[in-house]
Amino acid sequence: MTSFWCLPVQQRRLAIVSLSVIIVLGMTLSVTAFYFDFQYFETDKMVYEVGETVDMVARLIADFSPEGWCYISFAAVTDLGPTFADEYFISASPNPRMLNSSYTILPSDTSPGENGSTAYIIFNVEIFDTVSQGAGDNIEVLITRGHLTVVPVTPLVVQSDSNATLISRVVSIYDNNVEYANESINIRIDNPSAETILDTNTTTNPDGSFSFDWNSSMGLPGTYDLIVSGSGNEDFLGFSKSLPLSVVPTASNLTVVSAPSSVQCQSPDGSHFENVNITVRHEAADYSGISDSTLLWNAGFNNGEMANLGDGFYTTVIPFQTPPGLYIINITTSNPKYQANTQFIPITANENILYFYPVQTNISAIHGNTTSIEFTIEEEFNWGQEITLQFTDDFGEFSISKGITPHLLSSVPLTAWYNLTIGPHLITPEPTNAYYNFSELYEFQFNVIGELSINVTVESAFYGENLHIILSAFDLNNNTIDIVTIMAYCDNESTPFATIPQIITTQPISLPLPLRIQAGEHTFSFEIAAPYFISSIQTENVTVWMKTSIIVIIEIDESILYDWTMVVSNSSGSIIRPPPILFNGITSTVSLTTRETSLDICPRFNSGTSSLSTVLLNSRIA
């Protein structure tokens, strides 16, 4: 038999109860054995409140054959009788085993009252393996009345101008599932000034819940105190719980009724500016106007309060005494019953737009000279003030400032200084004051005209062939002009006999001579032109030579003896008339033997000293 004893204190250990059984029924019968050791049973403490949970644990070893079984149970017995049972079978194990259970003390299970009540927590174990054995233990605990708290079911947040029903529950501080059911409680609400605005009694529902109504007339936004109290009963102590009740401003809308997107900026001297009219409406959630709000505007450069027009409409007039730019008008609402609203209104302050009307768009001036560009300036806003314009070229070589009066014909002198690049300059006018701007990019062309320095050298001229010259061209700064156009005139003709564009001055130049220009002395004029340069003319006296071939055929007879002599005489002065002849002399005999005299060994004739070669043929008969 198993023996044990129980100690009436928490966490006591029982004497080890062991049983080893060997049953012999004969030499032919099988032997069945089991080992059972119940060591202790305990709870987590000895005094509990209604709503608390009792945690229990037992330790034992139950090792038996597969045909056996082990049954265990936990139980609780209060002053009202058995209230809890937890029972099950376990499998065999040779190792110590911890068995756990828990029991929540419910108001329906006990009525501890002021003095409390006694309860017994019981553990039993029964094992069977051929024979049956069991063990058990119980612990005496004290149960007292429990503590209560209030748990909101709906958030304790309301909007000031709305009506709402708020729900909460009165429950055990240990377990929200243990309710303070069907009991009277008091509900009181104090405003932020500690004034009581609600004081009422009600009864909790079977689940411990209760409700109360908030209406918009109860107060402005702020933090209120919700105080719930009750006197308690046989199971629970009396309580008083304070919770914060947040009354928040209600939502509202701020809409822009009218506002410009842009205005003109002020004039540079501040004498001209534009007023901006802005109208907005402050609305409740139902779109009704809120007429007791304060609306403030802030533009960065100024601020103020908007005027109340009634029915939620507010307006203001803002003097835009500002330079050009983008400005954000910030409008905010303030009302103790409503959430703050903000609206951002972007407004652009525009420059005074100018229009440029030139009288001419292409003007020229020779180096060292001055010309003028004439134009009229119109403005979008009639400020009527002088406007300073800056005229600059695309080369960055000059910049001219000039004060201009709008709507009047104006002019700006432009001087072709010697340090300016020859050719076209794109002139762009720009206002120097940020308060002005042109409607588009305006440009006009100023051509700086240079002067050419040329040198023409005549190399040769042959009738019906070419006039060979060498040309060099420079500007006044001694820079070489590489590409030019040449026009050649003869004597008093007004039409050039040769015009050749795109001539490279560093190379020899050949001009074709028309047949109408006879051999002899002529006055040639060479007009040299280049883009954006004044044409330059050089005149030269030139002799045009004629090339001629002379063939002399002489028949020789043996009976005849030829005797010939060449006589050379020199003359100086102007060219000989009739014109000299350059020839190729060919002498022929019967056998047609020839001898050629080339042009290279013939004297050259020019406008200076000339040599005349004469061939005299003398013959005599032998």
Poorest-confidence range of 14-18, 169-173, 396-400, 553-557? 14-18
- Tell me, what's the pLDDT at 548? 72
Determine contact, residues 315/350, Cβ cutoff 8 Å. Answer: no
C-alpha 331/C-alpha 317 separation (Å) is: 13
Give residue-wise pLDDT tens across range 23-54: 333 333 333 447 899 999 999 999 999 999 99
Q: Please, which pLDDT band fits residue 616 given cuts at 50, 70 and 90?
A: very low
Measure Cα distances from 47 to 141, 144, 468 in Å: 6, 8, 137
* pLDDT at 228 > cutoff 60: yes
* pLDDT at 571 > cutoff 90: no
Q: Before 508, cis peptide (omega within 30)? A: no
Average pLDDT score over residue span 358-386: 92
C-alpha 340/C-alpha 251 separation (Å) is: 8
- Tell me, what's the pLDDT at 479? 86
- Tell me, what's the pLDDT at 478? 84
Poorest-confidence range of 51-55, 198-202, 343-347, 448-452? 448-452
Q: Please, which pLDDT band fits residue 68 given cuts at 50, 70 and 90?
A: very high
* pLDDT at 573 > cutoff 70: no
Query: What average pLDDT does the structure give for the chain?
Result: 84
Q: Dihedral (C-alpha) 77, 82, 83, 89: value to the nearest 10 degrees?
A: 90
Take residue 57 and report the two structure tokens written for it. 């644990």
- Tell me, what's the pLDDT at 67? 87
Range with the largest mean pLDDT of 18-22, 343-347, 467-471, 579-583:
343-347
Poorest-confidence range of 18-22, 55-59, 90-94, 174-178? 18-22
Task: Enter the DSSP assignment of 250.
Answer: B
C-alpha 412/C-alpha 169 separation (Å) is: 91
Average pLDDT score over residue span 341-356: 95
* pLDDT at 162 > cutoff 90: no
C-alpha 336/C-alpha 313 separation (Å) is: 18
Average pLDDT score over residue span 596-622: 36
Q: Is the dihedral of CA 413, 418, 419, 420 positive or negative?
A: positive
Length of the chain: 622
Give me the residue label for tokens 């005494």.
321
Average pLDDT score over residue span 362-370: 92
- Tell me, what's the pLDDT at 193? 93
Task: Enter the DSSP assignment of 32.
Answer: -
C-alpha 80/C-alpha 520 separation (Å) is: 159
Domains, in order of start, for the chain: 13-144 (2.60.40.10), 148-248 (2.60.40.1930), 252-350 (2.60.40.1930), 352-447 (2.60.40.1930), 452-544 (2.60.40.1930), 550-621 (no CATH)
Rounded to the nearest 5 percent, the helix, strand and coil shares of the chain are 0, 60, 40
* 3-state DSSP assignment of residue 97: strand
pTM of the model: 0.57
Q: Please, which pLDDT band fits residue 265 given cuts at 50, 70 and 90?
A: very high
Determine contact, residues 168/153, Cβ cutoff 8 Å. Answer: yes
C-alpha 409/C-alpha 78 separation (Å) is: 115
Average pLDDT score over residue span 299-325: 96
Take residue 91 and report the two structure tokens written for it. 């499998």
Q: What's the distance, Cα to Cα, between the start and end of the chain in Å? A: 195
Backbone phi, psi, residue 205, to 5° = -80, 170
Take residue 187 and report the two structure tokens written for it. 């509900």
